Amino acid sequence: MHTLDTPSKPRGWNDLTLQEFKSIYPVIEENANRHFRCAEILGKSDEPQNAIAHLILGTEELIKAFACLLMSRKVPLRQQSWFKKIFLHHKVRHDLVKDFFSMYLLFRFSSSTNLRPTGIFSFLGAALMNTAMATANYFWWSNADSLKQRAFYVDFINSIVDPSTITAGDYQVAKAYVNLFQKDIAKLMRSIEVMSDKELKSWTPFNINELDKLREQAYKLQKERKKS
């Protein structure tokens, strides 16, 4: 009696090998760059709504590319509770930019600036600027997913929610936040690509585990403040 073979379960993101992660991250990064190029064209064509949507889509892809690069270099992201969700949920990717990148900005000068503190007052001024950047980044990315939805769709919440209410000024603000992330993550990726395994293991500017601990501490502090 002939029996049908049970179809094998399709492999997904969590099943990729190190070599597959290495092969796929440049493909994802190029797709991110396509979104950024589309955003630039749309922004110049007075279409700020769709331009913003493509900026955010490009960032989502860039996060996936960065995660795949780290996985290809044996960084144990699978241990993180949010790893699988990176490839499935837009909001999780926005939360990573909001939480991890904001923490990153707090402790590291952005590659998009040329700040080089030379004295205590200069250092304090730069540190305050970094804190302001991190805070602003956190709040902007908190609303990124809803902004993308507003840019794509007409909705009705008590009244008409029209994408045309998104302005060229909104696009310029979005572009500033996305460019900040795009430039720093690109710089990090190029650095990681040429590091030896030993160098990467001892590298501290973007320590995932340490930033995750800081993130959890920030959440606990936020909850405590809400209770008081």
Q: pLDDT: is 45 or 228 the higher one?
A: 45
**For the segment 137-183, what is each residue's pLDDT rounded down to a tens digit?**
777 777 887 888 888 889 888 999 899 999 999 999 999 889 988 88
pTM for the whole structure: 0.73
Rounded to the nearest 10 degrees, the angle between the axes of helix 168-194 and helix 120-142 is: 110
**Encoding tokens for residue 111?**
């590659």
Q: pLDDT category, 41, cuts 50, 70, 90? A: very high
What is the average per-residue pLDDT within 115-121?
39
What is the average per-residue pLDDT within 9-32?
92
Q: pLDDT category, 65, cuts 50, 70, 90? A: very high
- When mean pLDDT is compared across 24-28, 64-68, 105-109, 206-210, the lowest value belongs to 105-109
